[in-house]
Chains A and B, each alone.
Chain A
């Protein structure tokens, strides 16, 4: 029975497995708890962890859809636990899995950080310029529309949901995915960056890059930040195909 009769009970089934432990077997464990108003999956998981099972592993930091740590597969869809309300699920049954494609740590916890770090280095995700910055002078102005476009792409939180939603990535491990292509598009658009399209071709001009994308649009349809991934991948493809 729920603690308060106005509230319903929900069942959360979690994938349990510890690849570090040789005796561990992949299994599903179901927890029943009382749903409270406005409950997110993050709150539900914290309740399970604090009241029922201290051994359950999952990641979180900000609780506000900014850090990208709590991404997991919720009833088949990669989502952020902190931005998913339990009330969305009418039958009150929710199955949680760790994100595929990343190194599995334990239960719902995966290592997105190291992958993102490698990707950032491989794609040289920093401003490349020969200009010396003179801090005593006012910065050169940037067209507000361009700045807006760059900031829009900068909203990526590296949660890994685009990769977990991408069948191309699932099949081909070396694919940089939408997060990588979005990153390159961000620097390509940024007037501070002096790299040419030829330079960007060296980063994503192959089948691990933009030409590997099969436009399955899993990234676009699951991105919790609603980034314009569809248009930016198409933009990079058009730019890269024109490189002589």
Chain B
């Protein structure tokens, strides 16, 4: 069937009312919104995950809170599944939209790499980190989110630690952690510039300030994430002989 609307745009670059498609605007906006939501999610996710630094009990209680306690007796891991599904959908949307910015041929890739090396310009270099970490997350982010969707009951001080240490998930989490923090930090900095959020009266000075704040946040979140991962590793190592046993809540 001939779709006249599509064919007109194919032939003229404009729709039947002789207007350019509004899709590029919508897509550009959607990329920013989905990226911002994911960055906000990560901001909280890493803090919650860092609850292990306050002890097993703290992490256990937080997990149960996300599972709906005290409203649901014993908690309902399905809530985590639903949350993970929503994030996965947002993640796929963002990846699909952002993909259009990737170098799409060897020629484009070579030209970017050569130009980046020639220019040695800070923000141009940052983009390389962004596409590399984005590419890594296509795979690692999917593994992580799929596991959270299908095995939400395996979150807890021992369950998570066993997964990380005994199930050999730590190399994946390490790379994913570094990728996600860098990607989110650079991405939010880019959003600020892109939409001119904090331009104020001194846009150049404010850009430098935004970059500094983003750098500090990336550093702090990497420290937090690494410290949490290290703690899960330690618990996992100590718990390896009791692999599979779940954490039991301390008596109040």
Contacts and interface: CB of A to CB of B under 8 A. Distances in A.
B24 A221 contact: no
Nearest to B120: A76
B10 interface: no
Interface stretch (B48-56, B65-73, B190-198): B190-198
B203 interface: yes
B1 interface: no
A172 interface: yes
Interface string A54-94: 00000000000000000001001110000000000000000
B121 interface: yes
Contacts, number: 99
B103 A171 contact: yes
B118 A205 contact: no
A49 to B, nearest CB: 25
B252 interface: no
Contacts of B100: 207
Nearest to A203: B20
Contact size class for B?
Answer: 20 to 34
B22 interface: yes
A217 B199 contact: no
Given A171-B112, A201-B20, A234-B195, A216 B127 contact: yes
Interface string A12-38: 000000000000000000000000000
A62 to B, nearest CB: 26
A241 B22 CA distance: 8
A180 to B, nearest CB: 15
Given A170-B115, A172-B108, A205 B193 contact: no
Interface in A98-143: 100
Nearest to A204: B20
A143 to B, nearest CB: 18
Contact of B190 (A97, A165, A206, A215): A215
B121 A221 contact: yes
Contacts of B4: none
A53 B25 CA distance: 52
Contacts of A207: 24, 100
B111 interface: yes
Nearest to A170: B115
Contact of A218 (B22, B121, B193): B121
A241 B29 contact: yes
Contact of A171 (B111, B196, B207): B111
Interface in B149-164: none
Contacts of B203: 228, 230-231
B119 interface: yes
Contacts of B22: 201, 205, 243-244
Contact of A211 (B24, B121, B127, B204): B24
Interface in B21-66: 21-22, 24-25, 27-29
15 contacts: A76-B118, A100-B115, A167-B112, A201-B19, A205-B22, A206-B20, A214-B127, A217-B193, A218-B123, A230-B203, A231-B196, A234-B194, A234-B199, A237-B195, A241-B25
